[in-house]
Amino acid sequence: MSETVLPGGADLDDLLSREAIDDPFAFYARLRETGPIYWNRRWNGWVVTGYHEVVEGFRNHTKLSSDRFAGPFGEELSAASSQYQQLFAFLSKFFVWKDQPYHTRIRSLVNKAFTPRSVESLRPRVRELVDDLVESVRGERDVDFLARFAFTLPIVVIAEYLGVPPEGRESVRAWSEDLGAVIFVRGNDTDRMRKGDEAMDHLVEFLRPVVAQRRCHPQDDLLSGLVQVVDSGDALSDDEVIANAILMVFAGHETTMNLLGNGMVAFDRFPDQWARLRDDPSLARTAADEVLRYDGPIRAMARWATEPLELGGQRIERGDRVLLVQHAANHDPAAFTEPDRLDIARWPNKHTTFGQGIHTCLGAPLARLEAEEAFHGLSQAFPRFTIHEKELHYVPTVVSRSLTQLHITFPGS
């Protein structure tokens, strides 16, 4: 084996090694020091870790494609797609995994609902939910933080905004988790695809009557909004509405849940910043972005080259896979002073966690709002908290930065 082995013994090609998964700060720093872009034999593609190179990669959407159903990713999926038809029929309509013009058409239609001004109207409801959740954990010794707080807040917010009936939310959570295994490439291959296919089937069957009902009786929610644009010039088909509603449910909670969990771990590591936020709640806005930068819920996003290009001094050939490692870019000293320190007043904060370019996270304003309100509410209620896990572990995926579990004691009043 002639893999890139460092003096410390870590295999730089193993993006799923224990160190890469549980201590990406150190692991990605070593990748970046080796070179801002390098060929990874195991992942079979270019791994980009320098800030400027990651930003450039994201913004070059004409040569670096997001299409999962063409190119090298499409080849991998084509065998599976005949066996798991429901899964792929709907995944292939997720606009996040498409290039122009489909991507831009759907994005322009749903963008209005997620602008900073539109989501600002949700702030009172988000604050109310945070207050309720804070009271529900007050004085409890062993709170499963991900399940009881970090999951509940975003799933209720996105479900209410879309108009998903409350009685379906627990099922939606379970299906969404199975779908997540497919999207974040987690776990055993065959099992993942089979469960993902079933989950997609359930989600579609759950949403289809809701969408039909909104067509007859529009309400003040996003599903009604998506259905209504069908009747104006630029139309969404029923399946497009359902697919992109599933995308929003999924994207609207999984990542935010991990953001809140990672944030508590970051504040536990920097208790002075928790005290600072408690003393000055006006820092909640910049604190949200700093947590996104310091240890955001996304590690990396994949692209593939539709044409040859130069990036970071390397020539990328047509058909090559390219992994843009946002977590690494966010700790590049070329872009951030003292990158490994949490500074909740850091501004400007040009982190890459929401991506860059035409695929910049649609839900960014909502994620910021939820994180702001959650960290504000929790820091006001609790001067300190205690994390139980002696060692924290993360789910082994190349794409997401998700804790396996997080248990916290919150003091009583």
Cβ 238 to another protein, closest distance in Å? 24
Q: Is 108 in the site for another protein (CB under 8 A)?
A: yes
Q: Is 59 in the site for another protein (CB under 8 A)?
A: yes
Give the separation between CA 61 and CA 68, rounded to whole angstroms.
14
Among 277, 362, 369, 408, binds another protein (CB under 8 A): 362
Stretch of 57-65, 171-179, 268-276, 391-399 lying at the interface with another protein (CB under 8 A): 57-65
Contact 292, 326 (CB under 8 A): no
**To which residue do tokens 């490692």 refer?**
325
- For 61-104, list the strands marked E by DSSP: 64-65
CA atoms within 13 A on the CB side of 316: 30
Q: Is 365 in the site for another protein (CB under 8 A)?
A: yes
Cβ 334 to another protein, closest distance in Å? 15
Residue closer to another protein by CB (options 111, 228) is 111
Phi first, then psi, for residue 212 (nearest 5°) are: -60, -40
Over the Cα atoms of the chain, what is R_g? 21
Give the separation between CA 401 and CA 405, rounded to whole angstroms.
12
Sign of CA dihedral 208, 209, 212, 214: negative
Nearest residue to 400 via CA among 274, 273, 253: 253
Within 110-129, which residues bind another protein (CB under 8 A)? 111-112, 114-117
Residue closer to another protein by CB (options 112, 393) is 112
Cβ 159 to another protein, closest distance in Å? 21
Cβ 180 to another protein, closest distance in Å? 23
Residue closer to another protein by CB (options 361, 408) is 361
Sign of CA dihedral 296, 286, 354, 352: negative
Q: Is 360 in the site for another protein (CB under 8 A)?
A: yes
Residue closer to another protein by CB (options 218, 357) is 357
Residue closer to another protein by CB (options 171, 282) is 282
Contact 293, 353 (CB under 8 A): yes
Stretch of 8-16, 102-110, 166-174, 265-273 lying at the interface with another protein (CB under 8 A): 102-110
**To which residue do tokens 């290039």 refer?**
99
Stretch of 12-20, 51-59, 184-192, 316-324 lying at the interface with another protein (CB under 8 A): 51-59
Q: Is 325 in the site for another protein (CB under 8 A)?
A: no
Residue 26: both structure tokens together:
């150190």
Residue closer to another protein by CB (options 117, 315) is 117
Contact 277, 287 (CB under 8 A): yes
Count the site residues for another protein by CB under 8 A: 25
Within 339-358, which residues bind another protein (CB under 8 A)? 348, 350, 354-358
Q: Is 312 in the site for another protein (CB under 8 A)?
A: no
Give the separation between CA 339 and CA 332, rounded to whole angstroms.
7
Nearest residue to 34 via CA among 44, 15, 49: 49
Contact 265, 406 (CB under 8 A): yes
Among 364, 387, 392, 395, binds another protein (CB under 8 A): 364
Q: Which residues bind another protein (CB under 8 A)?
A: 56, 58-60, 104, 107-108, 111-112, 114-117, 348, 350, 354-358, 360-362, 364-365
